[in-house]
Amino acid sequence: MIKVSFLMRRKPDMTREEFQTYWREQHTQAVPEEAIPALGVKRYIQVHTLDTPLRDAIVGPREGLVDEFDGIAEMWFESEEAIQRDWSTDRAAEYAEAFFEDEKNFIDWTRSTILVSEETVFMP
């Protein structure tokens, strides 16, 4: 399985709460329900950052960390070939474009990033 992780920061004029509410409630409605399977997505989760002092305890003596992200979207795909196949259709391009357009409403892509990875599980 291939996992694509979107490490996102909110637009500067939004609070974290506004960002997470928009993402949770409006972004998921931006395209039809059939878009996710049409794009070959096997699993999709949203990871919402918590505003908690616990982060300071975990950071500990680490120095030079970048600003934290406001959330992470994770999508799993069968394989790299499946992504290339599924994302090359006209229908998938329409769905992807709808997602991209809606992302402009809440994500600052100049301060965000995307990782394409393969998981290695050490503890199930």
**Model confidence over 43-73: pLDDT tens digits?**
999 999 998 888 888 888 888 889 899 999 9
Cα(81)–Cα(85) distance, rounded to whole angstroms?
A: 6
pLDDT at 59: 86
Global model pTM greater than 0.75 = yes
Higher pLDDT, 30 or 12: 12
CATH code of 2-117, in short, is 3.30.70.100
**Model confidence over 105-122: pLDDT tens digits?**
999 999 999 999 998 889
pLDDT of 31 above 80: no
Cα(18)–Cα(106) distance, rounded to whole angstroms?
A: 9
**Model confidence over 67-108: pLDDT tens digits?**
899 999 999 999 999 999 999 988 888 888 888 999 999 999
| Domain residue spans of the chain | 2-117
Indicate the helix (H) or strand (E) that contains 39. Answer: none
